[in-house]
Chains A and B, each alone.
Chain A
């Protein structure tokens, strides 16, 4: 991806600069809000980084019990670290686990330390959290070594396949089979509804709904299984999960600790599609992205979802706007361009005349706006009808558009989309489809130069212009107001409504979070 040429669709650098400037202006107030607030999930993630694991007999994690207990006694406006490590220093329990259990039983109470006591508690908290970050750093080095030894996939785009049985022990052989069939990236879809759980389930899980719960143990088991198959195949198979929903910061932390390689992490998906409070989402997202930056994890954003609800032609510019916002938030949180798997999708109605040209225009626009980003190109879902033959052809065109426009990661379409959860044979056929197209098209991207003032180039410039217009309106209106007005994906989400809002609080003077501090400092 190092050698990108002059714009194939004649994007005006001044317009591109303007678009980025507007995204920054739209996003800056959100970042300011995120820096002055925290959430229960950010505090819980801090405890996880400090090594607190496990759950009570009802399956509620100790990090939840501990944060709840602190909140009850002294509130969370100063952060969870000072009262908790003050309790450790006082000898209320030998470690975090003991403190959490006693606090849950009501046998100890928290107090906010001041002066020297506070300094001492902060120092202890910082050392504990630094231990977790060190483990994340070690995992990153381990990944780099394995990639150096085994190598990346021989071709671009990388092929991304999904498994989702609900049972981690069933997912493992399926994921290994998918890797043998040719997948470069395996995503384990989460159980429906996990995004709305305000805790991360514990342990290996065997029952999920249309997916498998994201837990630390499930992460560990799957990464180990893919390490085995990576050795067997001689290429490093990447593992993806979801840092989204109410526990974004915690899941990001667990992903770093267990060496996941990519995480879905969109700036607005939870707000729009899960009705999670906007403030909660933006605060959690910033922390989770700081962790991803540290862990060397590639994030995948979710712009494809807008096109499953809004029209893929009319709303094409909302994808561009969201990509620019995701880029701004991601860079602000410390992610490098190679970590920005910005999303987009092949969702134009195939009955529309010139639909393929329009897809090429949109895909090239994304490619040229974000030349260094590993773009993630999503297959048709909305116009898959159950006619598996037509669907297979459509997926072939999707793959061709991906090869022709230099996409980085192809999530492979299943011809049985909208019919069944993918069968073994569906995945095999999908890989054959992609392999044929990528092999046959080769480096067609190099030769593909749309006419400078032709349909494709004009369409790309038009979408960018519409994106700039929309960004101008968002800047005038503020991003939170734009989200409340239904600008994205047709969903209206007010800033003070939605799930998880009661877990948002302003940071008081003297707020201390060692994880935030260490992540801002960088490694």
Chain B
């Protein structure tokens, strides 16, 4: 993915409009629900919304009552907005998103053994939803969890694991990465727990030998990794393949001789 290709104008044009059945017609379609009973006024309300969205003229091509209190609409119409393709900015991920198959292949090629991941909820936090979404084979958002990856060995310690237990188990399993999930944020518990955890790993491992420390949870700031002493923070909505891709990327980088 070169930087140039992502801003290359399509067929030489840099200013474009949506295409329905003719160049420049600007036609779009959308559907939505309004919390009103279906009548003439409801259809007028749908048109008003479409017009405020910049669709002009807008046509309500379908309206259907869904029970006594809701109406579903399909709207077609023209937008006049211009898109300047040369101004589109693409933020490239620092690492490529890998499919489970590719992640497995890369682990095999670069590590010559299984990648070991130890996961836990630490402190009093009993909400394993995050760690389970990432680790359990059931997965999250249609993606399988890390247990599904043939080349990843997952040790999920579950909830309410103490920091010393986590460190000890990580050493015993020779963990490449430690995944910690924190949901409870009362009195900043998630931040205190994470700092305590990263400090404990620093103390018990020789410098530069500790596993990758990764924390996740809905209330973390993804930019605060350095402050908390961890390698990476994942926020809400992170999927297993993002985590797997990151692990492969980070561990491969660490193990490539300088």
Complex interface: chain A residues within 8 A of B216 (CB): none
Complex interface: chain A residues within 8 A of B66 (CB): 177, 181, 424-425, 428
Complex interface: chain A residues within 8 A of B137 (CB): 272-273, 309, 489-491
Question: Which of A193, A272, A308, A309 has its CB near the most chain B CB atoms (within 10 A)?
Answer: A193
- 8 Å CB contacts to A: which residues of B199-252? none
Complex interface: chain B residues within 8 A of A309 (CB): 137, 144, 148
- 8 Å CB contacts to B: which residues of A273-320? 273-275, 305, 308-309
Q: Is B142 touching A382 in the complex (CB atoms < 8 A)?
A: yes
Q: Is A180 touching B129 in the complex (CB atoms < 8 A)?
A: no
Given A209-B129, A425-B31; A417-B142 close (CB under 8 Å): yes
Instruction: Flag whether A462 is at the interface (Cβ < 8 A).
Output: no
Q: Which residue of B lies closest to A269 (CB)?
A: B138
Complex interface: chain A residues within 8 A of B136 (CB): 273-275
Q: Is B148 touching A193 in the complex (CB atoms < 8 A)?
A: no
Complex interface: chain B residues within 8 A of A418 (CB): 141-142
Q: Is B132 touching A192 in the complex (CB atoms < 8 A)?
A: yes
Instruction: Flag whether A465 is at the interface (Cβ < 8 A).
Output: no
Q: Is B158 touching A196 in the complex (CB atoms < 8 A)?
A: yes
Q: Is A384 touching B70 in the complex (CB atoms < 8 A)?
A: no
Instruction: Flag whether A210 is at the interface (Cβ < 8 A).
Output: yes
Instruction: Flag whether B156 is at the interface (Cβ < 8 A).
Output: yes
Q: Is A192 touching B141 in the complex (CB atoms < 8 A)?
A: no
Instruction: Flag whether A230 is at the interface (Cβ < 8 A).
Output: no
Across the interface, A196 reaches (CB within 8 A) one of B64, B128, B147, namely: B128
Complex interface: chain B residues within 8 A of A424 (CB): 33, 66, 70
Instruction: Flag whether A407 is at the interface (Cβ < 8 A).
Output: no
Instruction: Flag whether B127 is at the interface (Cβ < 8 A).
Output: yes
Given A309-B137, A424-B66, A425-B66; A210-B142 close (CB under 8 Å): no
Q: Is A490 touching B148 in the complex (CB atoms < 8 A)?
A: yes
- 8 Å CB contacts to A: which residues of B2-54? 31-33
Instruction: Flag whether A64 is at the interface (Cβ < 8 A).
Output: no
Question: Which of A181, A191, A209, A491 has its CB near the most chain B CB atoms (within 10 A)?
Answer: A209
A-B contact count (CB 8 A): 61
Distance in Å: Cβ of B99 to nearest Cβ of chain A: 14
Q: Which residue of A lies closest to B135 (CB)?
A: A275
Q: Is B148 touching A210 in the complex (CB atoms < 8 A)?
A: no
- 8 Å CB contacts to A: which residues of B133-166? 133, 136-138, 141-142, 144, 147-148, 156, 158-159
Distance in Å: Cβ of A302 to nearest Cβ of chain B: 11
Complex interface: chain B residues within 8 A of A308 (CB): 138, 144
Across the interface, B147 reaches (CB within 8 A) one of A305, A382, A423, A491, namely: A491
Q: Is B132 touching A193 in the complex (CB atoms < 8 A)?
A: yes
Q: A410-438 interface mask toward B, CB cutoff 8 Å, 1 = contact, 0 = none?
A: 00000001100001110011000000000
Distance in Å: Cβ of A501 to nearest Cβ of chain B: 12
Distance in Å: Cβ of A291 to nearest Cβ of chain B: 25
Distance in Å: Cβ of B114 to nearest Cβ of chain A: 13
Number of interface residues of B (CB under 8 A): 25
Q: Which residue of A lies closest to B133 (CB)?
A: A192
Q: Which residue of B lies closest to A423 (CB)?
A: B33
Q: Is B72 touching A428 in the complex (CB atoms < 8 A)?
A: yes
Given A273-B137, A274-B136, A490-B148; A192-B67 close (CB under 8 Å): no
Instruction: Flag whether A499 is at the interface (Cβ < 8 A).
Output: yes
Complex interface: chain A residues within 8 A of B147 (CB): 491
Given A181-B66, A196-B158; A425-B142 close (CB under 8 Å): no
Q: Is B144 touching A499 in the complex (CB atoms < 8 A)?
A: no
Chain A interface size, as a band, is: 20 to 34
Q: Is A425 touching B72 in the complex (CB atoms < 8 A)?
A: yes
- Taken together as a complex, chains A and B put the C-alpha atoms of A305 and B128 apart, in Å, by 21
Complex interface: chain A residues within 8 A of B129 (CB): 191-193, 209-210
Instruction: Flag whether A240 is at the interface (Cβ < 8 A).
Output: no
Complex interface: chain A residues within 8 A of B128 (CB): 193, 196
- Taken together as a complex, chains A and B put the C-alpha atoms of A417 and B142 apart, in Å, by 8
Distance in Å: Cβ of B246 to nearest Cβ of chain A: 21
- Taken together as a complex, chains A and B put the C-alpha atoms of A274 and B66 apart, in Å, by 37
Complex interface: chain B residues within 8 A of A322 (CB): none
- Taken together as a complex, chains A and B put the C-alpha atoms of A192 and B133 apart, in Å, by 8
Instruction: Flag whether A381 is at the interface (Cβ < 8 A).
Output: yes
- Taken together as a complex, chains A and B put the C-alpha atoms of A490 and B100 apart, in Å, by 14
- 8 Å CB contacts to A: which residues of B54-68? 64, 66-67
Complex interface: chain A residues within 8 A of B126 (CB): 197
Q: Which residue of A lies closest to B142 (CB)?
A: A418
Q: A310-354 interface mask toward B, CB cutoff 8 Å, 1 = contact, 0 = none?
A: 000000000000000000000000000000000000000000000
Complex interface: chain A residues within 8 A of B144 (CB): 308-309
- 8 Å CB contacts to B: which residues of A418-462? 418, 423-425, 428-429
Q: Is A384 touching B142 in the complex (CB atoms < 8 A)?
A: yes
- Taken together as a complex, chains A and B put the C-alpha atoms of A180 and B66 apart, in Å, by 9
Q: Is A425 touching B33 in the complex (CB atoms < 8 A)?
A: yes
Complex interface: chain B residues within 8 A of A197 (CB): 126
Q: Is B138 touching A273 in the complex (CB atoms < 8 A)?
A: yes
Complex interface: chain A residues within 8 A of B32 (CB): 425
- Taken together as a complex, chains A and B put the C-alpha atoms of A210 and B132 apart, in Å, by 13
Distance in Å: Cβ of A270 to nearest Cβ of chain B: 11
Q: Which residue of B lies closest to A386 (CB)?
A: B142
Q: Is B67 touching A180 in the complex (CB atoms < 8 A)?
A: yes
Complex interface: chain B residues within 8 A of A384 (CB): 142
- Taken together as a complex, chains A and B put the C-alpha atoms of A275 and B136 apart, in Å, by 8
Q: Is B156 touching A275 in the complex (CB atoms < 8 A)?
A: yes
Question: Which of A181, A309, A491 has its CB near the most chain B CB atoms (within 10 A)?
Answer: A309
Complex interface: chain A residues within 8 A of B138 (CB): 273-274, 305, 308
- Taken together as a complex, chains A and B put the C-alpha atoms of A489 and B32 apart, in Å, by 38
Complex interface: chain B residues within 8 A of A417 (CB): 142
- Taken together as a complex, chains A and B put the C-alpha atoms of A269 and B141 apart, in Å, by 19
Complex interface: chain B residues within 8 A of A429 (CB): 72
Across the interface, A193 reaches (CB within 8 A) one of B31, B70, B127, B141, namely: B127
Distance in Å: Cβ of A398 to nearest Cβ of chain B: 16
Q: List 17 A-B contacts (CB under 8 A).
A: A193-B128, A193-B132, A196-B132, A196-B158, A196-B159, A197-B126, A272-B137, A273-B136, A273-B138, A275-B136, A308-B144, A382-B142, A425-B32, A425-B70, A428-B64, A490-B148, A499-B158
A residues apposed to B, CB below 8 Å: 177, 180-181, 191-193, 196-197, 209-210, 272-275, 305, 308-309, 381-382, 384, 417-418, 423-425, 428-429, 489-491, 499
> What 14 additional pairs, Cβ within 8 angstroms, besides A273-B138, A418-B142, A424-B66?
A191-B129, A192-B129, A192-B133, A193-B128, A196-B132, A197-B126, A209-B129, A210-B129, A274-B138, A309-B144, A309-B148, A425-B70, A425-B72, A491-B137
Closest 9 CB pairs of A and B: A418-B142, A192-B129, A209-B129, A193-B129, A428-B66, A425-B72, A425-B33, A273-B138, A193-B128
B residues apposed to A, CB below 8 Å: 31-33, 64, 66-67, 70, 72, 126-129, 132-133, 136-138, 141-142, 144, 147-148, 156, 158-159
